[in-house]
Chain A
Amino acid sequence: MKNRLKVLRAERDWSQAELAGRLDVSRQAVNAIETGKHDPSLGLAFKISRVFDMPIETIFLEEED
């Protein structure tokens, strides 16, 4: 699954640590999600959606086959 986390974070001038703190996860988790190595749980996806105040489907994008 692709996501726009890095772009949205940069638009707000947030570091990975800043976003991690807002999401109450480790900085490593944010990095893993941004680099596509880890898909967040549904609960964390909703939390990301709330933090950026955007619908989930505009943050996470299904990859084409």
Chain B
Amino acid sequence: MDHGPNDIRNPGEARNRARQRRKWAFLIFAGLVGAVIGALLSGLENGEGNFLVGQIETLTMPAWAAIAMAAAFFFAFAVLPVWGFTQIDDYQMRQNLIGYAGGCIAAVAGYPIWAVLAMGGLVPHPTAFGIFVIAFAATMLTFLAVKLRG
């Protein structure tokens, strides 16, 4: 008597495996989008500096490329996550929203804290890239903490 995951009497397990496959497909697609954006960026940027560490003052790119890259970033950081929200259950949605809340709180609290510390001569002045890094890192860390807590 087979009651294993392939048993026809266990339709839920089959649906759960299909759900897992969709999740991995989404993660692989998101990774590919990131790889394509990185490759395009490195191919289209001119001048000196490093986009990944926020040295953009001396970097340039053609206007058409800038618009295309802006659209790509909008897709990667706004469209893809919002669409991802429609594919998950309310438990996963809660974990994701807590992660985003962590990032938002870090940015809102981080800027004034960083600014006054800079006024006191303790740290360099705040930068837009620095705030982005704080928000992004806090989002990831908060999400991981919520995931690990279960």
Question: A-side interface residues toward B, CB under 8 Å?
Answer: 13-15, 17-29, 31-33, 35, 37-38, 40-41, 44
For residue B46, CB closer than 8 A to chain A, the reply is no
Complex: chain B residue closest to A38, CB-CB = B91
Interface residues of B (CB under 8 A from A): 3, 5, 10-17, 19, 88-92, 94, 150
The reply to whether A22 and B11 form a contact with Cβ atoms under 8 Å apart is: yes
Residues of B within 8 A of A24 (CB): 15, 19, 89
Closest 6 CB pairs of A and B: A21-B12, A21-B15, A29-B91, A18-B12, A21-B16, A25-B89
| Distance to closest chain A CB from B137 (angstroms) | 24
- The dominant DSSP class at the A interface is helix
In the complex, chain A residues whose CB is within 8 Å of the CB of B19? 20-21, 24, 26
Q: Contact: B91 with A25, CB < 8 Å?
A: yes
Q: Provided the pairs A21-B19, A37-B150 are in contact, do residues A29 and B13 lie with their beta carbons within 8 angstroms?
A: no
Judging by beta carbons under 8 Å apart, are A26 and B88 in contact? yes
Chain B hits for A15, CB < 8 A: 10, 13
Residues of A within 8 A of B3 (CB): 13
B5, B11, B12, B88 — most chain A CB neighbours (10 Å): B12
A26–B91 CB distance below 8 A: yes
Known contacts A18-B10, A21-B11, A22-B11; is-contact A27 B150 (Cβ 8 Å): no
In this complex, the member of B14, B17, B89, B94 whose beta carbon has the largest number of chain A beta carbons within 10 angstroms is B89
State the CA gap A44–B94 with chains docked (Å).
14
**B90 closest partner in A (C-beta):** A41
Q: Which residues of B are found within 8 Å of A26, using beta-carbon distances?
A: 19, 88-89, 91-92
Q: A14-B10, A29-B91, A38-B94 are in contact. List 14 more A-B contacts (CB 8 A).
A: A13-B3, A18-B16, A21-B17, A21-B19, A22-B12, A22-B15, A23-B12, A24-B19, A25-B90, A26-B88, A26-B89, A31-B150, A33-B91, A41-B90
